[in-house]
Structure 1
Amino acid sequence: MTITIRQEIKSDYPITETVIEEAFKNEEQSNHQEHLLVGKIRKSDAFIPQLSLVAVHEDEEIVGHILLSHITIVNGESAVDSLALAPVSVTPSYQNKGIGSQLIHTALQQAKDLGYESVIVLGHDAYYPKFGFKRASTFNIKAPFDVPDEAFMALELTPHALDQVTGVVQYSKPFTE
């Protein structure tokens, strides 16, 4: 099976949103609104087109999507730019085939190439550490809402990028609407 990862384009949006909706349909820890969140992020200042990627099967079918969007880590008057990884989605019939991992690796490399230094994710604590994510609390970074410590994670794309960073993540407006 050949999977190609490429930047999402506007004509992909309806298909991508269906992929996202299907991917989260049976997820217990989901509000089942991820596809709507992606649509809102695309219309916001937090959207970075180069970090909205799709996984395309050899028959040209879109089977996965990942989005990294702009966030800040705020401590009093200081704010540091970062990225939120949310969501990563794979069509159910293509799950557990490494496509999500391909999307994550590609997106993280693309973010690093664009000069971003860190990424924050709220996700499965057994999954994201294999990509280098650690508890955000390790870096004195907190979520803006109550979440299990082990599920709120950070990744340095640049070594020591978070050494001097502390504060609370401020998500873009679409996350709080």
Structure 2
Amino acid sequence: MKIRQEKPDDYLEVYELVKKSFATSSHADGTEPDYLNEIRKKDSFIPELSLVVENHDGKLIGQVVLYKTIITLLDRKITELLLSPISVHPDFFRQGIACAMMEEAFKIALKMGYSAVFLCGNPDFYHKIGFRPTYEFYIFHINDRSKKAEWCMVRELTVGALKNINGTIDIN
């Protein structure tokens, strides 16, 4: 297994990979591959944080992308990262590929000066790998009226990075 930066030549294969990966998800709406294509067109896209995994035959079996997101505070805005989407080919589920991709992306992000990664997802999975609800840091999803959204999560890449950062985040 080889984790590397995604190249434009990979886009079509990644599109099909994302489609297959989300085909079995109860939370998928079928737009995930197109969503990734749209991310690549935005200023918030960071090519160095768009990674793929090749198996021993050179076939792409996983992808992850981290891109810029904004935390809005009363007096300023802070740029951090959002993870979305992450995909693994169904034939390779539950083999640690998603975790390996994330850890590699997090190492690169830390070297680039980022200190936190946000996402919306399944708490049962993401809590196991160090993500915590954003409300624990007094950062709330813009659409979370309860202020207790378990599905809006963050992982600090640097311990204490979100200390004294109270605000909102709009993860879409």
Normalising to structure 2: TM-score of the pair? 0.94
Paired with 1:135 and 1:78, the residues of 2 have a C-alpha distance of 22
Give a deviation string over 1:41-70, Cα, whole Å, max 9, x none.
100001000000001001000000000010
Shift of 1:170: 3.3
Give runs of ≥4 in structure 1 deviating > 4 Å. Answer: none
Question: Mind listing any 5+ residue stretches in structure 1 that lack a counterpart?
Answer: none
Question: Mind listing any 5+ residue stretches in structure 2 that lack a counterpart?
Answer: none
**Bigger CA drift: 84-93 or 28-37?**
28-37
1:116 aligns with 2:114: yes
In structure 2, relative to structure 1, the CA distance for the partners of 1:150 and 1:170 (3 Å cut) is closer
What CA RMSD, in Å, does the superposition of the two structures yield over aligned residues?
1.4
Corresponding pairs, count: 170
Match of 2:136 among 135, 138, 141: 138
The DSSP-based 3-state class of the residue aligned with 1:101 is helix
Match of 2:19 among 21, 25, 49: 21
The DSSP-based 3-state class of the residue aligned with 2:162 is coil
Paired with 1:144 and 1:36, the residues of 2 have a C-alpha distance of 24
Give the structure 1 partner of residue 70 of structure 2: 72
Match of 1:57 among 55, 58, 65: 55
What residue identity is the alignment partner of 1:16? V
Normalising to structure 1: TM-score of the pair? 0.91
Report percent identity of matched pairs. 31
Give the structure 1 partner of residue 81 of structure 2: 83
What residue identity is the alignment partner of 1:161? A
Shift of 1:146: 4.1
User: Where in structure 2 are the equivalents of 1:150-161 lying within 5 Å?
Assistant: 150-161=150-161
User: Where in structure 2 are the equivalents of 1:41-52 lying within 5 Å?
Assistant: 41-52=39-50
Paired with 2:109 and 2:89, the residues of 1 have a C-alpha distance of 24
